[in-house]
Amino acid sequence: MMESLIAENVPAVPNYQIVAQSAEDIRNIENAPAVSMEPYLLKSGQQSLLTKISVYSLRGGSREQMRLLYMNSTAIRLWEEMGKTPKIIGARTRPRHTALLTLGVPFSS
């Protein structure tokens, strides 16, 4: 009984980093993970990561946050390896329910 009470009160660990992309960022098609990540993985021989990546996107509400990406840790690591500098503005356990899966598998950790 005590174990179940502890489990209920443990906060969920954020699995997704929220990356903001500005209007300027999205002008370059290479800044869209759905466009640039898969070719990079194939070229670098890391295609097995496709089953570990999870990227969701959501339209933002300002020029500074035109697109929001919800990226799991594998996607963030890969994004940085590709030379991108993600502007991380937060973290969540799961993407917002209105966000769309744009690359990878749902809710991968």
**Domain spanning 12-101 has what CATH number?**
3.30.70
Predicted TM-score (pTM) of the model is 0.86
Q: Ramachandran region of residue 45, left (φ > 0), alpha (ψ -120 to 50) or beta? A: left
Q: Name 109's bridge partners.
A: none
Tell me the pLDDT tens digit for each residue of 64-109: 999 999 999 999 999 999 999 999 999 999 999 999 999 999 976 5
Q: Is the pLDDT of residue 47 over 80?
A: yes
Domain ranges for the chain: 12-101
Q: Is the pLDDT of residue 18 over 60?
A: yes
